[in-house]
Amino acid sequence: MHITSRFIIICREAFLTAGSNNLNLIGIFTQINADRFPFVYPQFALVVSIDVDDGGTHTMEADVIGPGGARIARSELPLQARTGNMQVIANFEQMQFAAPGTYTFRVSIDGTSLGERALEVKPVIAPGPEKNNLA
């Protein structure tokens, strides 16, 4: 069996339209701003579009790698893959980001890498006191 990835996207919400199976992506993003850490993001979706040449039962894994290189979360989704193109939606809820930096979502099926998507978590910089430059 051969599986390839067309894209990996992070968005606020994703769903398939009933009847047509059209993919709907709402609020695609690559960056989150946080005013303090640890920071909890309420919910988002990791969406993977794949091409499959032979269907069957598989497991999609999504490992979340923190800025220090350690795995901080893992999602495993059972798939009943069919031949052709299909979209897989992994929903994350109450995801905690301990520190600012790059968080990498590494996606694989049955241990075979499909690719990754980076998410930048940046601190919000509060404006400093304004200086009066009158001479």
Please give the chain's pLDDT, 135 residues, in tens. 688 899 999 999 999 999 888 999 999 999 999 999 999 999 999 999 999 887 789 899 999 999 999 999 999 999 888 888 889 999 999 999 999 999 999 999 988 899 999 999 999 986 666 655 554
Query: Residue 115's closest CA among 47, 69, 52, 14?
Result: 47
pLDDT score, position 21: 85
Residue 62 CB coordination number (10 Å): 22
Domains of the chain are: 3-123 (2.60.40.1930)
- What is the per-residue pLDDT for 129? 64
**Angstrom distance (rounded) from CA 71 to CA 64:** 6
- At 132 the pLDDT is 56
pLDDT at 2: 81
pLDDT of residue 134: 54
pLDDT for position 24: 96
pTM metric for this prediction: 0.85
pLDDT score recorded for residue 88? 92
The predicted pLDDT at position 127 comes to: 64
At residue 128, the 3 state secondary structure works out as: coil
